[in-house]
Amino acid sequence: MLDWVLGLDIVWMIIVVSAVTALITAGIWALVIRLATGGRAATLKGLSPGMLPPMGLVFGLLVGFTAAHVWGGTDRAQVAVNQEASALRATTLLMGSFPGAPEAQVDGLIRRHIEQAANVEWPEMASRTATLTVIPTELAQAVQAVLALVPQTDGQRVAQREALVSLQTALDARRQRIILSESTINWANWVAVLAVAVLTLFAIAVVHADNRGTAAMAMGLFAAAVAVCFVLLTAQDRPFAGQFGVGPDVLVQVMPPAR
């Protein structure tokens, strides 16, 4: 169910989350209004309004900690992609010291690696199906090609050594982005945030049970805030998925031209 919501356009995501939040809020309001009759009314009205601030604070803290986890994962994912792109670009520049067939071979392997990453790995990372068991064949071949070079000058020896370091950096960055693609909000966090939101809505309804209009307005305002928080978390739950996910644009920008 959550995968389906994560795959929605942001506008439809807002509509779906808002509709579900509204339905839950309306259900809680109707339940409390129905319970606030007869002998139960006095019991419900005995709930102190002082309960609402701490409950709202708990909800805010849960959302804050969860959002920090989400944003941290996205930032680390962007850093990994930038690092991979920089390393591949450095390799391309260093191979300029070996003009001709060696340079064309390594550039072609890097180009195919970037195409594979953008067209195959990115959709897999978005759906959390990418694994480290698949060896990046093109990068492995590029390492072998650089190792097979026979440098003739000191400059070429330095370029060969630095190109190997850059390719190793690219491999490490690729591993890091695939690991980060598994980052997501676990079900326990979702349950905790949802439970506190529902309990707070219930408390608001009970405190204002003697005035249906006031209860509906207060619950509506809090429900709107809850919907905003859930849209924020859902839209950025996975680092490489959705409209706000990290894309392969930086890698594509450093792709060597076809020869």
In a structure prediction context, what are the per-residue pLDDT tens digits for the chain, which is 259 residues long?
A: 566 777 778 888 899 999 999 999 999 999 888 887 766 666 677 677 888 899 999 999 999 999 988 888 889 999 999 999 999 999 999 999 999 999 999 999 999 999 999 999 999 998 888 888 888 999 999 999 999 999 999 999 999 999 999 999 999 999 999 999 988 888 888 999 999 999 999 999 988 888 888 889 999 999 999 999 999 898 888 889 877 889 999 999 999 887 6
- The CA distance from 26 to 21, in Å, is 9
CB 151 within 8 A of CB 157: yes
Single-letter amino acid code for the residue at 240: F
| Residue at 111: amino acid letter | R
pTM: 0.83
Alpha-carbon gap, residue 214 to 137, rounded angstroms: 64
- Could you identify the residue written with the tokens 């894309």? 247
- Length in residues, the chain: 259
Answer yes or no: are the C-beta atoms of 70 and 237 closer than 8 Å. Answer: yes
Distance from C-alpha of 6 to C-alpha of 234, rounded to nearest angstrom = 6
Q: What is the distance between the alpha carbons of residues 228 and 50, in angstroms, rounded to a whole number?
A: 25
CA pair distance 18, 65, nearest whole angstrom: 22
Nearest to 29 by CA among 170, 211, 171, 161: 211
Hey, CA dihedral for 69, 70, 74, 75, is it positive or negative?
negative
DSSP state of 131: -
- Residue carrying structure tokens 């309306």: 26
Q: Strand, helix or coil at 255? A: coil
Can you tell me the distance from the alpha carbon of 141 to that of 165, in angstroms, rounded to the nearest whole number? Answer: 15
3 state DSSP class of 162: helix
For the chain, the domains span 2-253
